[in-house]
Chain A
């Protein structure tokens, strides 16, 4: 097996893992019981998607903060009342703002967050490919004069005329 292929595959796997990673569930959620397992899964998904307003780098699911516990209880209570995911998210956004969402909605004030990275990666990729293409099509211009080249070969005795000089 080609080593290069293996290496690329492992890098792709790592990146996929990073992209798919969700904040870890560090808190036991035993106090929240649902008769319908689907509803339970919905609850766990929901609290994993919402950000703790106190600790900010944790989800509501992972946070030990007392406010996060209150919010989990409130979300549980509302789910038991039969509220939908959208209703609960609307309730929280109305009180804490969009800050509570890990995924901000796409709107004028968040366009930069959503499209900024894409634009940067696109521009970087375009420049990279353009540079590669140019290197392939046009050989590096040899802009030394005949006089300079003679002097260069005097300074670098191991090099011979016609041989490409590499540094390092």
Chain B
């Protein structure tokens, strides 16, 4: 048994390598999808079909003043961030500090979109953590939210001065998201303000 069989050395035919090439092609495709294209993107992110379209019409009461009805007009004239939030949403609490900073030091016009919330809870939340919003739309039963394609909180839309939706961020905004993702878009559309 100590005799060894010597294999005749022969070149593999090209056909034998096909499975290897198929494997490599599939592996690179998966690698591309998972690591390159997916970088920095939440796997649950759903691209919004509303980008580039006028913001939907709405008529919602103001959170802070129930007698006041807010319409799409509040979006016009200036680039604004429409921020969907609720007092029951932990990630909204997380991004709130950043929103306060943006409103105070960057002069960004923030429009609150209080979503599926109780008025008293929402007001208590603002009293406790501060109010960065110029106005706040109150949408407790998700009627306007469906028109905006909202599926969670927080979500933030960049709306230009003409009321056209330019970007949608799903998930909280922090300083890095602000600097790399949202600020460049705001600056691009601020230049076009009439």
B-binding residues in A (CB < 8 A): 53-54, 56, 66-67, 70-71, 74, 93-99, 148, 151-152, 155
Q: List 20 A-B contacts (CB under 8 A).
A: A53-B46, A56-B44, A66-B116, A67-B142, A67-B150, A67-B151, A67-B152, A74-B146, A93-B49, A95-B50, A95-B146, A95-B147, A95-B149, A96-B149, A97-B46, A97-B49, A97-B149, A152-B5, A155-B3, A155-B5
Apart from A56-B44, A94-B49, A152-B5: 17 A-B pairs, beta carbons within 8 A: A54-B152, A66-B116, A67-B151, A67-B152, A70-B116, A70-B141, A70-B146, A93-B49, A95-B49, A95-B50, A96-B49, A96-B149, A97-B47, A97-B49, A99-B46, A148-B8, A151-B5
Do most interface residues of chain A lie in helix, strand or loop, or is the interface mixed?
helix
| CA–CA, A96 and B49, complex, Å | 6
Nearest chain B residue, comparing its CB with the CB of A144: B8
B151 near A96 with CB under 8 A, answer yes
Q: Is B148's CB within 8 Å of the partner chain A?
A: yes
Which residue numbers of B lie inside 8 Å of A, CB to CB? Answer: 3, 5, 8, 44, 46-50, 116, 141-142, 145-152
10 nearest A-B pairs in the assembled complex, by CB-CB distance: A95-B149, A53-B151, A97-B49, A70-B142, A99-B46, A96-B149, A67-B151, A54-B151, A74-B146, A97-B47
Q: Closest B-chain residue to A67, C-beta based? A: B151
Q: Is B46 touching A95 in the complex (CB atoms < 8 A)?
A: no
Candidate in A74, A93, A95, A155 with the most chain B CB atoms within 10 angstroms: A95
A76 CB, min distance to chain B CBs, angstroms: 13
Which residues does chain A contribute within 8 Å of B145, judged by CB atoms?
70
For the complex, give the distance between the alpha carbons of A18 and B5 in Å: 49
In the assembled complex, which residues on chain B have CB atoms less than 8 Å from the CB atom of A98? 49
Please measure, in the bound complex, the distance between the C-alpha atom of A44 and the C-alpha atom of B3, giving whole angstroms: 73
Tell me how far the C-beta of B115 lies from the nearest C-beta in chain A, rounded to whole angstroms: 10
